[in-house]
Amino acid sequence: MLEKIKTTSDYLKKQTGLSPKIGIILGTGIGGLAKEIETEVTIPYTDIPGFPISTVEGHTGALIFGTINGIPVMALQGRFHFYEGYSMREVTFPIRVMKVFGIESLIVSNASGGLNPDYKVGDIMIITDHINMFGTNPLIGRNKDELGPRFPDMSEAYNKQIINRALEIAKKHHIKVKQGVYVGTTGPTFETPAEYNFFRTIGGDAVGMSTVPEVIVARHMNMTCFGISIITDSGAPGQITEVTHEEVQEVAASVEPMMTLIVKELLDAF
Ligand code: HPA
């Protein structure tokens, strides 16, 4: 596995003259940030040795090297979801590659369903913590001691200092943001009302189908993590309506400019 990660990282090193320290997963919500990148090179996932291929509508699947406000970044346009049939190892492979490449910090975005009754569709939630409800963990299996410890600490998975900086940036731009706990689950079904209720009861503010595996693997390798979510539908009692993938995409697109603004300015904080 480590050999494979190194092979991919070495391949990427040959494609760029940049040495970014920040990695970004342009999930639903900050896909538009791609437009803000002064692109040096775009590499389709299909060209990258060892990379799985993204299949979901709205996720293009390319790795971008470039700069934002002069700060070099490695951006993943499109992520690999567990529900697509990839193994946890495949889902998190790009994060392993990032670390070996030299990336120290990870920014992730996603779309999620609101569980907190105070949340409205279109709200932005800064992720303060998560609950892993995937029923599995990407670190299961023999530990690679070169990459991280057998029993990684998760007491501050989402860096508090970065969260505070993001809150300052949002305030400066009069963007209202929530802070909350993200529940990660496999999907691909959206939740039943009873499931939404359960996830709220166990301490969740929003629920989605990504991010948790990537952040676990990033923390395993001691990367600084920041996560931000768009509430695209409501799972709060009395507010549940039918959800479609199209609706999720639509709401996310409408909030995207604000998410992009926050993340763009946040790069300075790392
Ligand atoms: N549940 C799970 N994942 C989601 C949701 C949801 O309601 N909305 C967007 N992603």
The answer to whether 164 and 245 have CB atoms below 8 angstroms apart is no
pLDDT digits (tens, 9 = 90+) for 190-236: 999 999 999 999 999 999 999 999 999 999 999 999 999 999 999 98
Distance from C-alpha of 197 to C-alpha of 212, rounded to nearest angstrom: 20
Highest mean pLDDT among 57-61, 64-68, 254-258: 64-68
Tell me whether the omega of the peptide bond preceding residue 117 falls within 30 degrees of 0, making it cis.
Answer: no
Signed CA dihedral, 253, 193, 242, 78: sign only: positive
Pocket lining for ligand 1, CB < 6 angstroms = 111-113, 187, 190-191, 207-209, 232-233, 235, 243, 248
Residue 56 has pLDDT above 60, yes or no: no
Distance from C-alpha of 213 to C-alpha of 81, rounded to nearest angstrom: 9
**Exposure string (b/e) for 204-234, b if CB count within 10 Å is 16 or more?**
bbbbbbbbbbbbbbbbbbebbbbbbbbbbbb
Predicted confidence at residue 54, as pLDDT, reads 58
Distance 182 CA to ligand 1 centre (A): 11
Question: What is the domain extent for residue 257?
Answer: 2-269
SS3 215: helix
| CATH number of residue 147's parent domain | 3.40.50.1580
* Average pLDDT over every residue of 65-89: 94
Provide the phi-psi class of 130: left if phi over 0, else alpha when psi is between -120 and 50, else beta: beta
Best residue among 82, 112, 189, 200 to mutate for probing ligand 1's pocket (most ligand atoms within 8 Å of CB) is: 112
Distance from C-alpha of 226 to C-alpha of 78, rounded to nearest angstrom: 17
Tokens of 236: 């709060």
Identify the band that residue 1 occupies on the pLDDT scale cut at 50, 70 and 90.
confident
pLDDT digits (tens, 9 = 90+) for 97-130: 999 999 999 999 999 999 999 999 999 999 999 9
Best residue among 56, 232, 234, 245 to mutate for probing ligand 1's pocket (most ligand atoms within 8 Å of CB) is: 232
CA 4 to chain CA mean position, Å: 23
The answer to whether 168 and 194 have CB atoms below 8 angstroms apart is no
The answer to whether 217 and 95 have CB atoms below 8 angstroms apart is yes
Best residue among 121, 191, 210, 240 to mutate for probing ligand 1's pocket (most ligand atoms within 8 Å of CB) is: 191
Predicted confidence at residue 245, as pLDDT, reads 86
pTM: 0.94
Tokens of 179: 């802070």
pLDDT digits (tens, 9 = 90+) for 12-30: 999 999 999 999 999 877 7
Mean residue pLDDT across the chain:
93
- Give the residue among 33, 78, 74 at the shortest CA–CA distance from 260: 33
Ligand 1 atom nearest to CA at 209 = 3
Predicted confidence at residue 243, as pLDDT, reads 85
How many domains, in total, are found in the chain?
Answer: 1
Residue 193, amino acid? P
Supply the angle between the helices 245-266 and 160-172 in degrees, to the nearest 10.
100
